[in-house]
Amino acid sequence: MTTEFKELDVRPILRDGGEPFEEIMKAVATLQEGQGLRLLAPFRPQPLFRVMDSKGFDHEVFELEGGHFEVRFTPRMEETVAVSDNAISPALWPEPSVQLDLSDLPPPEPMQQILAEAEGLEPGKVIFAVLSREPLFLFPELTRRGHQWVGNYDQAGTAYRIMIRVGSGGSNA
Amino acid sequence: MLGATLSRWTMSYFAAALVCLVAGLILTASGFGYPSTAIEAPESLVVIHLFAIGWLGLLFAGSLLQFVPVLVSRPLEMPHLSLPVLLLTITGLGLLLAGFLGLAGILPLWSWVLPLGGAVLALAFAGLLWMVTRTLATARPMPLPAKFVALGCAALVGVAASGLLLTLPLSGLTANQYLVGLLLEAAPSHAYLGLVGWMTITAIGVSYRLLTMFLLSPERPRMTSRAVGWLMAVGLAMVAFGTVLAGAGTSPTATIYVATAFGGIAVLIYGLDVHLIFRERKRKSAEMNVLASLAAVAMLIACFALFGASTMSDLPIDLARPAAYLFVFGWLTGLGLGQLYKIVAFMTWLECYGPVLGRAAVPRVQELVNERRSSTWFLLYFGATVAATVALIADTPAMFRWLALAQLAAVCALAFEFTQARRLAIVPQAVRLPKGAIHPRLFLPSFKGSSQ
């Protein structure tokens, strides 16, 4: 994915003896979601890197002619993954033995299909499913049945992906 | 924990709400309150608050308890307040109505009843706000539909506070000049804060999530949806400002007009959003609840057209009150009944069959309701509502009462369909109660369940 940048040239401000920090923060505050900041400065703005890092931006530095610098601050795409309370080391789960594309089913049919699939699998097996949205009512039911799960939206936010590790029977089984 | 569970008391909120709707329509059809008496008359205030707090207030409160967790993917905070809030709302409403009946000379007049009712209601709404805002606060960043709900909460504070203040001069407890000024001028602002500010803004926000969910349409925070929120927020701020000034004797009519203009533009854009959501849907067949919602949105737009027309001063007919009527019955009630049709069936299905999903054959959600029969009732309801609005504009009260009777019949029929769904009455016998399924109670929670 290419990042779109907003440009801010602080060289004139510094030339006039001004303090650019406030301008930079103002520019950062007006960035759209996913938009980056291209900063042009007469020196390498080292202290800014930490500030921007804490705001969730990575940086790349390019040296320009005349000893000036271009810094590209790119927002980190955070892959927030939801994990069930009972999930243990999802990174070590085996490859999914079942793949389901449920993105064209209206709710609550995806929930029904996933639960049915889980009933037929041995404990430890993994299901991977794609849905059109977060199956909110499914989550507690999975946990209640002793299944572990992790899930998140894809980057475009149009599909929800969930991995379920079948448990060996929950409290209600 | 992540996800959403069934809200324990929501079905009880819905049952109480429907009782109030039926009671209000019986009163209206029998000629009690507006339009048989002036809209400011105490009899009218009884009926108006029975609809506004009893029906719509409880409907929205019950729905918020179920759907705010869905908006933010987190369970409801402080769910044990649900029952006290329900009981306080019913008690407060009862006191308020007793106070109005006292003013009408039907019950003995105790001047403390109205303010006490206002105070109990304010307490109930504070409890509701506590649960809703605490739950919303767990979401970072807040999704757009949740922001609409938060804005609606701000309006709820306004409507509860202005309502409580209005009870003081109305009951004769105080002759404070500011409060009397408020009583004379602020009623339209009070209504705007409740019906547009709280309910409409909340309904619009929640519909962005529910409509896309039911239609399998992509949900994205559109610029247009944000514009709807900002326009509504400006309108709301104008009305709040006008309400404060009203006490000082400045008529807030101008602020209401400007706010209505902002609201009108907002609902037009909202109509466009709904059109886009509908056009981008992956699921081609639209169910009854979606069709009823679309009808309700059309009526919402019609309301603002009527409000706009009513501001033309040289009109010989009253359009503002019929527009308000269409707003309450065409838009809010139409939408509410349409959503109840789906929510009741879905909640019942999940409560009953959730524990056995995948282990036994279960019916589809649609098999809990009779769509063909229900569509007749919806047609009757919306037809009668439009006709009743026309009857109000044409100033034919006798005709209006017959049409209110038709609305009552449609609502009773729909309420019957909801109870059929709760009873699993029309579910095919083979899949009705598989082993392990819990038969739901009519409107009380089943205490064995693990949901909240």
Per-residue pLDDT of chain B (452 residues; tens, 9 = 90+): 678 889 999 999 999 999 999 999 999 999 999 988 999 999 999 999 999 999 999 999 999 999 999 999 889 999 999 999 999 999 999 999 999 999 999 999 888 999 999 999 999 999 999 999 999 998 878 899 999 999 999 999 999 999 999 999 999 888 898 999 889 889 999 999 999 999 999 999 999 999 998 888 888 778 999 999 999 999 999 999 999 888 887 888 889 999 999 999 999 999 999 999 999 998 888 889 999 999 999 999 999 999 989 887 677 788 999 999 999 999 999 999 999 999 999 999 999 999 999 999 999 999 999 999 999 999 999 999 999 999 999 999 999 999 999 999 999 999 999 999 999 999 999 999 999 888 899 988 875 544 44
CB atoms within 10 A of CB B156: 26
- Report which secondary-structure segment, H or E, holds B395: none
> Which CATH number is associated with domain A82-165?
3.30.110.40
**Residues within 8 A of A (CB atoms), B 332-351 only:** 346, 349-350
Instruction: For residue A59, list its beta bridge partners.
Output: A73
Using CB atoms, pick whichever of A136, A138, A158 lies closest to residue B70. A136
In this complex, do B218 and A139 lie within 8 Å of one another by their Cβ atoms?
no
Q: Is A103 in contact with A159 (CB distance < 8 Å)?
A: yes
* Domain range summary for chain A, segments of one domain joined by +: 5-75, 82-165
ipTM field: 0.86
Residues contacting B166, CB < 8 A, separation 6+: B118, B179, B182, B183, B186, B187, B190
Nearest to B216 among A106, A111, A139 (CB): A106
Q: Do A116 and B358 touch (CB under 8 A)?
A: yes
Let me know if B384 is exposed, middle or buried by CB neighbors in 10 A (0-12, 13-18, 19+): buried
For chain B, give the number of residues.
452
Specify the pTM.
0.86
Residues facing residue A101 across a β-bridge: A130
Contacts of A55 in chain B (CB under 8 A): none
CB contact under 8 A, B349 and A137: no
Find the CB nearest A140 among B3, B349, B362: B3
B 249-308 residues with CB below 8 A of A?
282-283
Domain A5-75 has CATH 3.30.110.40: yes
Distance between CA atoms of residues A56 and A58, nearest Å: 7
Give the three-state DSSP class for A42: coil
Task: Give contacts of B 36-95 with A, CB under 8 A.
Answer: 69-70, 73
**Which chain B residues are Cβ-neighbours of A141 within 8 angstroms?**
354-355, 357
